[in-house]
Amino acid sequence: MGSQTAEVRRGPKPRPHTRDNLIRAGVRMLHESGFTATGIKDIVAAAEVPKGSFYNYFESKEAFGAEVVDSYFETGLADLAARLGDESVKPLDRLKRYFSDRADGFKEAGFVRGCMLGNLSLEVADQIAPIRERLAEHFGTWSGLIERCIAQAQEAETISSRLPAALLAQFLLNSWEGALLRMRAEKSDAPLNQFIEVVFGSILV
Amino acid sequence: MGSQTAEVRRGPKPRPHTRDNLIRAGVRMLHESGFTATGIKDIVAAAEVPKGSFYNYFESKEAFGAEVVDSYFETGLADLAARLGDESVKPLDRLKRYFSDRADGFKEAGFVRGCMLGNLSLEVADQIAPIRERLAEHFGTWSGLIERCIAQAQEAETISSRLPAALLAQFLLNSWEGALLRMRAEKSDAPLNQFIEVVFGSILV
């Protein structure tokens, strides 16, 4: 926050939204093109902010990337939590509807971009610890929401309790990320449909 | 091949292995750092070949990337086919041993790099059609080998035939890719162990 104040003092015109604009542009561009392919110059241009302002807000591209990951996940989190926690719908129906709606969305978008958490896990997690840590944390939150649905379905005896809800939730989330990965390679929603068929026809039974 | 001949003619000293050296360096570097982060300069330096030689062998970095993907997959293919086709081992044991050995390898390596096919599916499949097509083809081959194991286990009535072997194989392969993705984010083999537990304890039963 200190450097933000400094920027406002130095700049010819105060721009309180500069930081938000940079993050928003970062979410869009990192999701579309990845971390390495997106230059700071591109981000600054897309955010329509003064060229020199980037380092007033972020100490490095890596630190910026970690905040972009947070923003990407947190923007969708309220909707995710509301859908997976919607007690007016049976837990298993909630989960199935969630994945089906996501599959429809990817079909409409032309099978591109996928999930930024997954993309950056493969692109930069080995190299950039602060980004990797954010990814791990958000995957944990996401998995926890899935786990609660599965636990509720097990409590209601809709599905078997043989395997722990936590194990199933982790497996489902990772398999979903894998289905998205294959969707990108195939340019097809077959992997997403196969995921839904096996998960809801054979695993969660 | 025409341009290879041209290079040999022009160069001060014929280097028949230049092309192979470039591909080998490409496999190593693209696997470690990804496509965008690896420059042609880096590849040429690692391959210890003359700077100007790259474009004598490859018309573009994209065309080079497609050949690197082929080389990566084809190098491992004989071993993969031998393991998954080893009739002296029961089909389900073969499959389980394959994934367990892979998990051990990733643990030894420190949970980095993962699978190049998966990495490039998320990094460049949207943008580079020739690479995407190679990825899709190799995933298809890999999935076919898994499918044969599953079909044999179904024929032997070791596991249920309720779901088609082809569907299960695609799902397994994609889930494995997802487990590798999460392994990179967590720097842990928990996702690989969870994959093995759910697949062999609950899906292939």
What's the number of CA atoms in the CB half-sphere (13 Å) around residue A158? 16
ipTM of the complex in this document: 0.92
For residue A191, list chain B residues with Cβ-Cβ distance below 8 A. Answer: 170, 174
pLDDT, tens digit (0-9, with 9 covering 90-100), for B72-111: 999 999 999 999 999 999 999 999 999 999 999 999 999 9
Longest dimension (CA), chain A: 64
pLDDT, tens digit (0-9, with 9 covering 90-100), for A110-130: 999 999 999 999 999 999 999
Q: A130 vs chain B: nearest CA distance in angstroms?
A: 11
pLDDT, tens digit (0-9, with 9 covering 90-100), for B2-29: 444 444 445 455 466 999 999 999 999 9
For residue A34, list chain B residues with Cβ-Cβ distance below 8 A. Answer: 36, 123
The DSSP code sequence of A113-157 is S--HHHHHHHHTTTT-HHHHHHHHHHHHHHHHHHHHHHHHHHHTT
Q: Which of A127, A171, A181 sits opposite B195 (nearest CB)?
A: A171
What's the number of CA atoms in the CB half-sphere (13 Å) around residue B170? 25
Predicted local confidence at residue B14, as pLDDT: 46
The amino acid occupying position B84 is: L
